[in-house]
Homo-oligomer: A and B are copies of this chain.
Amino acid sequence: MSELGHEVLAAVLQVRSRSLQVLLWRRAREPQVGRWSLPGGQLGATEDIEASVRRQLAEKVDVRQLSHVEQLAVFSAPDRVPGDRVIASTFLALVRSDNDPVIPDDTSWFPIDALPDTAFDHQAVVLRARDRLRSKLSYTNVGFALAAPEFTVSALRDVYSAALGYRVSATNLQRVLSRRGQLEPTGETVPPGPSGGRPAALFRFARASIQITDPFAVFRPPATTPPPAPPSPPTESASRA
């Protein structure tokens, strides 16, 4: 086998202040001193990449606040780290929007639309993570990992809009997620805001692990009759730490 370095990197994403943001830390030493990096580091001899990414993320955030972690992709261009041959196994990790994790002084959140100078190929990793998240919002229930545990439909719409980068309709979002069995009312409401109106109902996601929301839609009978439940709903094949 050829001798290579292997690192793990995590793009930790959260909707903060109505924008999709990523956690980066500022490099204090060469190479690329002063540039902003994804959390991560070299794979240890006795750990797999899932254990490694959790160990290394723990230096930056309380990993109990990660609502979802999955393998993203391998970045392996021979020149991605100048002067070294380092393969990167990357992860997408999510934090619910109601958390505000304690982070070290060298670490900060940045809107993905306004990244600072990033190190190596880390910008490409961030954009890949964003694109993966956007795709999955369209065919999975991954919204559970971005939203607070309980939310109004209006708050959920804000989370989806920030993650997708364009405004979505609260009415349609509620209709489609409810029809797919993903949303359920908690039975509670929140009082109307200062401008009045009615109390708003609170909802939660029915499941807190990722699932394809429209499984095997291709093979369902036409919409006039309810689809039979598949014997065992397919879960995502992407591995999760």
A residues with a Cβ closer than 8 A to B are 1-7, 42-50, 71, 73-74, 76-78, 84-87, 89, 128, 131-132, 134-135, 137-139, 160, 164, 168-169, 172-173, 175-177, 212-223, 234, 236-239
User: Which of these, B135, B215, B223, contacts A223 with CB under 8 Å?
Assistant: B223
Q: Are A222 and B85 in contact (CB under 8 A)?
A: no
A81 to B, closest residue via Cβ = B1
Residues of chain B lying within 8 A (CB to CB) of residue A137: 216, 218
Residues of chain B lying within 8 A (CB to CB) of residue A218: 137-138, 160, 168, 172-173, 176-177, 213
**How far does the alpha carbon of A73 sit from the alpha carbon of B89 in the complex, in Å?**
9
Closest-CB distance, A53 to chain B (whole angstroms): 11
Residues of chain B lying within 8 A (CB to CB) of residue A236: 135
A77, A135, A234: residue with the most chain B Cβ atoms closer than 10 Å: A135
Closest-CB distance, A130 to chain B (whole angstroms): 9
Residues of chain B lying within 8 A (CB to CB) of residue A172: 218-222
Q: A46-B78, A78-B45, A212-B138 are in contact. Are A132 and B2 (CB under 8 A)?
A: no
Q: Are B138 and A43 in contact (CB under 8 A)?
A: no
User: Which of these, B4, B71, B215, contacts A138 with CB under 8 Å?
Assistant: B215
A-B complex: 7 closest residue pairs judged by Cβ atoms: A1-B5, A132-B237, A131-B237, A139-B139, A48-B76, A168-B219, A49-B76
**How far does the alpha carbon of A84 sit from the alpha carbon of B177 in the complex, in Å?**
47
